[in-house]
Structure 1
Amino acid sequence: MSTNVHDPIQIGSLTLRNRIIMAPMQQNQGTTEAYATDYHVKHYAARAEDVSLVIIESTGVSPNGRLFPDDIGIFTDRHVDPLRRIVNAVHQKGTPVFIQLTHGGRKSWPSLTNKLMGPSAIAYDDEYGIPLAMSLDDIRTEIERYRLAARRSLEAGFDGIELHAAHGHLLHQFLSPLSNMREDHYGGSLENRLRLIIEVLEAIRAEVGSEYPVQLRVSASDFAEGGLTPVEVATALTYLESKIDAVHVSSGGLVPNAPLATPEGYQLPYASVIKQYVNVPVIAVGNIRTQAFANFILVDQLADVIAVGRPLMEDTRFVEKMLVHS
């Protein structure tokens, strides 16, 4: 029988009631201390009823890894209660909710960080400036912050974690040969460039256990010569498959290049490549706006789950309508 948007699916131990989820999108409504606010509670609750999963926006694991002056974080125990209010509001709609854990690395907001860091001393652009190449102590410190963020995610009541290794942030920086010129065991070969992601996943698993859903967001193309390609990212994921429950496929962000166009399903080819390499569910995103197109993706096994972002920002009832109208 053909798969369609109304069919349930497993993400690890969690059953999603349909194949449409809410993609994480930055809201820029946090406090100067990176606390979530009433805005976030209302925003996510208003969009939670018809999707089968809500993934909240990028949430900083480190005071040195915040993306914006008004983002949200989970780098102290004080951040837990504001985040728990989001979880409770989404749960009241009968929907599970994941947190997206992020460190900006060289794309951290310069005025917020005491130490702009990356795998190598290579700038994203002139505005961000040249980061310090992370020492082994720096790497250990940030891995520990991911671990503590995972512990706090459990305390806040989240049903799962999405680890952000896309859009040019720290873990993506280590994976891409364009930003990682290290000569130690965190640089060089694909296996070495994957090492930080593996160690962060292991630290998270040490806190949440093997049954708790953990998925990875990746950028499958750097849109630049010498950068990551879909096949290389797919190959990397085969090393990670035993540690993750799903992969959420996006693209870009490592360098200031952007795709030439963003037509319907413009990132779908990347998801379809990765789908050929891994056995965990693959989440596709990128201007997927109709049930008919979503069903085509699922029937042809190009991806297993559809993430909707911008349309839900424009219309809180978008997914309700999408699930009804083919």
Structure 2
Amino acid sequence: MSLAFSPVSIGSLRLKNRIVLPPMQQYQGSAEGFAGAYHRDHYARRARGGVGLVIVESTAVAPEGRLMIDDVGLFSEAHVAPLAAVASAVKAAGAPVFVQLCHGGRKAVPHRGGRLLAPSAVAYDDVYGMPEAMSLADIAAAAEAFAMAAKRAVAAGFDGIELHAAHGYLLHQFLSPLSNHREDAYGGGPEGRLRFLAGVICSVRAAVGMSLPVTIRVSASDHAPGGLEPESVAAALRALVPLGLDAIHVSSGGLTPTPPPETGPGYQVRYAEVIRRAVAVPVIAVGQIRTREQVEDILAQGRADLVAIGRPLLIYPDLSRVL
């Protein structure tokens, strides 16, 4: 029997198979952050192809948190209806759908020249420029922005939420000692660096209740000396999961411009394996997983519970042509 096409649950949601379409930016949002017909058709087409779960691309929780000038957002009530059309189309095509909520922090392109915010005044590079260290009021506002966006996601009809704490964006920036140099309650050591993310999870849960699946995407390694490694991320997740996380989506990198030291087929699965040993919720592996043999082997060895397949599904939206 195929493990890839066996059912699995994420929280209260039962999936028909273990193949996930991961969030991938489509660069098709309007200047104001609205989704459109492109997004509706793009995600529904992949749902018709047979995946078990669709995760809509990084969606900004605040105007200053947009990753680029053509991404999408959920930072106002006006953003709900366009994304509701996307969610409805995906579900009609046969797959449940999550939305990934994100704040870019120091890797943002703030809307209309807004503030560039980060845990500390440490730049990602010269292109993004120097961010402002967030005040306590800024931190509280960002947590509230995630909660309000989560509430709007429920109104839009999404089946679950993924919090983006990977690839060098704001939640990741608070976790990593390379980008968080704070000496207050939100820094100073692993417990302090975890505090903002813990607060976001609690705020989101308060906004949406406990039954809606809430997951998180993490970078399990910063690929840089002194940065996060799989064991430290696993320790953080052991503290975070009881706050209300239903699955962990394991990626890596993005905190600094330095690329990973090596890539190749399934190169991030070893990180998922470390995380899976540390937590009691399903783990999603991702990263150059492109063949049926890879997927079945990952699942059979217990290295992950689900597998995300990205670029092949952009080219061939029918799952049968990929696996």
Q: Do both proteins adopt the same fold according to a TM-score greater than 0.5, normalized to the shorter chain? A: yes
Answering whether residue 4 of structure 2 is matched by residue 5 of structure 1, we say: yes
Separation (CA, whole Å) in 2 of partners of 1:222 and 1:261: 13
In structure 1, give the amino acid aligned to 2:105: G
CA-CA distance at 1:77 after TM superposition: 0.2
What SS is found at the alignment partner of 1:59?
strand
Matches within 5 A, 1:80-229: 80-109=80-109, 112-229=112-229
CA-CA distance at 1:6 after TM superposition: 1.2
Answering whether residue 321 of structure 2 is matched by residue 294 of structure 1, we say: no
1:83-102: CA deviations, max 9, x gaps?
Answer: 00101110111210000000
Instruction: Give the conservation status (yes or no) of the 8 Å contact 1:63–1:113.
Output: no
CA distance 1:101–1:291, change in 2 (3 Å): same
Separation (CA, whole Å) in 1 of partners of 2:98 and 2:110: 28
In structure 1, give the amino acid aligned to 2:179: S
CA distance 1:45–1:176, change in 2 (3 Å): same
Instruction: Give the conservation status (yes or no) of the 8 Å contact 1:66–1:112.
Output: no
Separation (CA, whole Å) in 2 of partners of 1:68 and 1:96: 27
1:68-125: CA deviations, max 9, x gaps?
Answer: 0000000000000000010111011121000000000000115644111100000000
Answering whether residue 38 of structure 2 is matched by residue 39 of structure 1, we say: yes
Separation (CA, whole Å) in 2 of partners of 1:208 and 1:6: 30
Matches within 5 A, 1:42-61: 42-49=41-48, 50-61=50-61
Instruction: Give the conservation status (yes or no) of the 8 Å contact 2:313–2:322.
Output: no
Q: What is the root-mean-square deviation in Å for CA atoms of aligned residues?
A: 1.1
Counterpart position of 1:255: 256
CA-CA distance at 1:192 after TM superposition: 0.9
Counterpart position of 1:65: 65
CA-CA distance at 1:314 after TM superposition: 1.3
Instruction: Give the conservation status (yes or no) of the 8 Å contact 1:110–1:128.
Output: no
What SS is found at the alignment partner of 2:152?
helix
Separation (CA, whole Å) in 1 of partners of 2:62 and 2:111: 14
Give the alignment's TM-score, normalised by structure 1.
0.96
What SS is found at the alignment partner of 1:86?
helix
CA-CA distance at 1:261 after TM superposition: 3.5
Separation (CA, whole Å) in 1 of partners of 2:181 and 2:262: 30
What SS is found at the alignment partner of 1:303?
coil
Seq. identity, %: 55
Answering whether residue 313 of structure 2 is matched by residue 316 of structure 1, we say: no
In structure 1, give the amino acid aligned to 2:280: N
Q: Which runs of 5+ in 2 are unaligned?
A: none
Instruction: Give the conservation status (yes or no) of the 8 Å contact 1:61–1:145.
Output: yes
What SS is found at the alignment partner of 2:100?
strand
CA distance 1:157–1:111, change in 2 (3 Å): closer
1:212-262: CA deviations, max 9, x gaps?
Answer: 100000000001000000100011000011120000000000000111342
Instruction: Give the conservation status (yes or no) of the 8 Å contact 2:63–2:111.
Output: no
CA distance 1:269–1:18, change in 2 (3 Å): same
Separation (CA, whole Å) in 1 of partners of 2:257 and 2:110: 17
Q: Which runs of 5+ in 1 are unaligned?
A: none
Instruction: Give the conservation status (yes or no) of the 8 Å contact 1:69–1:112.
Output: no
After TM superposition, what 4+ stretches of structure 1 lie above 6 angstroms from structure 2? none
Q: Number of residue pairs matched?
A: 321
What SS is found at the alignment partner of 2:64?
coil
Give the alignment's TM-score, normalised by structure 2.
0.97
Matches within 5 A, 1:260-275: 260-275=261-276
What SS is found at the alignment partner of 2:147?
helix
What SS is found at the alignment partner of 1:99?
strand
In structure 2, give the amino acid aligned to 1:130: M
In structure 1, give the amino acid aligned to 2:26: Q
CA-CA distance at 1:322 after TM superposition: 4.1
Separation (CA, whole Å) in 1 of partners of 2:28 and 2:297: 36
Counterpart position of 1:77: 77
What SS is found at the alignment partner of 1:279?
coil
Separation (CA, whole Å) in 1 of partners of 2:202 and 2:113: 26
Separation (CA, whole Å) in 1 of partners of 2:111 and 2:238: 38
Separation (CA, whole Å) in 2 of partners of 1:281 and 1:3: 18
CA-CA distance at 1:169 after TM superposition: 0.2
CA distance 1:113–1:267, change in 2 (3 Å): farther
CA-CA distance at 1:189 after TM superposition: 1.5
Instruction: Give the conservation status (yes or no) of the 8 Å contact 1:100–1:161.
Output: yes
CA-CA distance at 1:315 after TM superposition: 1.2
Separation (CA, whole Å) in 1 of partners of 2:278 and 2:113: 38
What SS is found at the alignment partner of 2:307?
strand
